[in-house]
């Protein structure tokens, strides 16, 4: 995409890292950079989709780029964004197939974890899943020298809670569309603004893509070093 844009510089491109446009993540970014938790040094983040017993993710696997590239690229973009865009050094990853055996044909997994080491001692830990029973579950935690900031611990669809003789509960977000509906709108609006001359940093997409490609490689090697 970056190479195509270089051939057609009169066109505008915006990278679709939609969480940067989410109100809660924007608030977190401003608080972190306002020294609310001291110096941030670790991000733990997850993108977990609701299990689909009909096998959509198995059919999607041949073109998805794999679990990490499809899901965790958003978590790593968040980590870099929230930590001040540190340069990555190494990534370690491992995964398993908990439910969807058909993913083996594409060398894909339905659950995976990884660790990214950045320069300056900063870290990111990510988890991705296709098998959540309760719904789409996006969570992020940022740990700093003077506090911790958390987003999305309860993946609730709205503010309604039900309490009865058995339990207290709330409805969960079924898919990422419901969770990030407003963010998708803000992202589209930002693209309209970009047509008036604002330029996005497309290098972020390349860096995140390289990190997730290294994570996929690391499933078999358990270590992938990154170069500049």
Instruction: Give the global pTM.
Output: 0.82
Judge contact between 44 and 150, C-beta under 8 A: no
Q: How far apart are CA 34 and CA 28, in angstroms?
A: 10
Domain ranges of the chain: 25-221
| pLDDT at 39 > cutoff 90 | yes
CA 25 to chain centroid, in Å, comes to: 12
Question: Residue 105 corresponds to which tokens in the numbers above?
Answer: 């044909």
**pLDDT, position 199:** 55
Task: Report the Cα–Cα distance between both ends of the chain, in Å, rounded.
Answer: 20
Per-residue pLDDT, averaged over 4-25, amounts to 86
Q: Which CATH superfamily is domain 25-221 in?
A: Dihydrodipicolinate Reductase; domain 2 (3.30.360.10)
Q: By mean pLDDT, which of 32-36, 94-98, 182-186 is the weakest?
A: 182-186
Q: Tens digit of pLDDT for each residue in 131-170?
A: 999 999 999 999 999 999 999 998 888 888 898 898 888 8
Q: How far apart are CA 38 and CA 140, in angstroms?
A: 17
């Amino acid at each position: 995409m970056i190479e195509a844009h270089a051939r057609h510089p009169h066109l505008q491109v915006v990278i679709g890292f939609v969480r940067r446009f989410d109100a809660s993540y924007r608030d977190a970014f401003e608080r972190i950079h306002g020294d609310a938790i001291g110096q941030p040094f670790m991000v733990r983040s997850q993108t977990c989709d609701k299990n689909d017993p009909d096998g959509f993710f198995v059919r999607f696997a041949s073109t998805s780029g794999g679990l990490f590239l499809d899901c965790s690229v958003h978590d790593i973009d968040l980590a870099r964004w929230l930590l001040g865009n540190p340069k990555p050094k190494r990534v370690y990853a491992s995964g398993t197939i908990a439910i969807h055996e058909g993913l083996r044909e594409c060398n894909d997994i339905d659950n995976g974890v990884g660790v990214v080491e950045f320069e300056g001692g900063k870290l990111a830990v990510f988890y991705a899943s296709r098998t959540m029973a309760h719904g789409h579950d996006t969570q992020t935690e940022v740990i700093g020298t003077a506090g911790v900031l958390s987003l999305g611990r309860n993946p609730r669809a709205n503010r309604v809670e039900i309490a009865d003789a058995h339990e207290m509960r709330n409805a969960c977000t079924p898919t990422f569309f419901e969770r990030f509906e407003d963010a998708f709108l803000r992202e589209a609006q930002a693209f309209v603004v970009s047509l008036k001359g604002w330029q996005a940093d497309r290098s972020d997409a390349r860096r995140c893509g390289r990190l997730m490609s290294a994570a996929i490689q690391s499933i078999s090697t358990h270590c992938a070093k990154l170069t500049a």
